[in-house]
Amino acid sequence: MIEPVVDLDQIPALPGRVVLADVRYYLDGRSGRAAYDGGHLPGAIFVDLHHDLAAPASPAEGRHPLPDAAFFSERMASLGLSDDDTLVAYDDAGGVMAARLVWMLRATGRSAALLDGGLSAYAGKLETSSPRLPRGSFAVRPWPAERLATIDDAASGGSVLIDARPVDRFRGENETLDARPGHIPGARSVPCRDNVDASGRFATSDVLRERFAAAGVTADADVISYCGSGVTACHNLLALERAGFGPGRLYPGSWSQYSHTDRPAEVG
């Protein structure tokens, strides 16, 4: 398995055919597709987080549930991705959106990484045409149970539970996306956007290790990562790997599922 984060100059040495994927997505309603059409890395395909990487939203499952494995396989094949490809994904937000695709591929045994620095890592002329890759061969692989956590797992208190949302939403402030404010009792705030600097480049493995250790992560800890809807939580999971820890588990429903229940919540 390749490293979860790669530099632009490492791409030529990656195994197999390398496919670049633009996974820009905006919580404020802007169109990721429009941003892609306005300029993207040469040869990059567009992957729509909402439509390609998630099942329909519902209060019972959250805003971005994991899609059915067969649906995911079909979407990736139709975009031209095959099992033996290496995918490098990026966005313009430090990888916090693109991490969802990278995590999904790595969790099912594929070769995938985030591009360190994202869109801004490329200094050349951006491309506006959309490549059309021939249909790929992408097998249906079930989501591995050992990489996932349920709402009961997240609420049990038996794991190190880390919350990837900005600290104000963790505290219960400025909640505009989900049913109620706060966080799951016992969770530690580890905002994923602090994994990168202002340019979108990742902190070193040593710095990341210190961040996670301060949140109670140890070498043998069972770590569950969540966020608002199971997207940016993947960024923390990739950062955990970069820091030398185990892969951790994703709670896909995250706060967008939990906040629709009558389970206890904490603020502050």
Mapping DSSP to helix (H, G, I), strand (E, B) and coil, where does residue 163 land? Answer: strand
CA 232 to chain centre: 5
Catalytic residue among 227, 231, 237, 243, which? 227
Kindly state the tokens that stand for 49: 């987080």
Longest dimension (CA), the chain: 51
CB distance 62 to 229 below 8 Å: yes
Q: Nearest 5°: CA angle at 172, between 168 and 173?
A: 50
Asked if 227 is an active-site residue, the reply is yes
Among candidates 113, 76, 83, which has minimal Cα distance to 98?
A: 113
Q: How many CA atoms lie within 13 A of 145 on its CB side?
A: 1
CB distance 191 to 167 below 8 Å: yes
Catalytic residues: 227
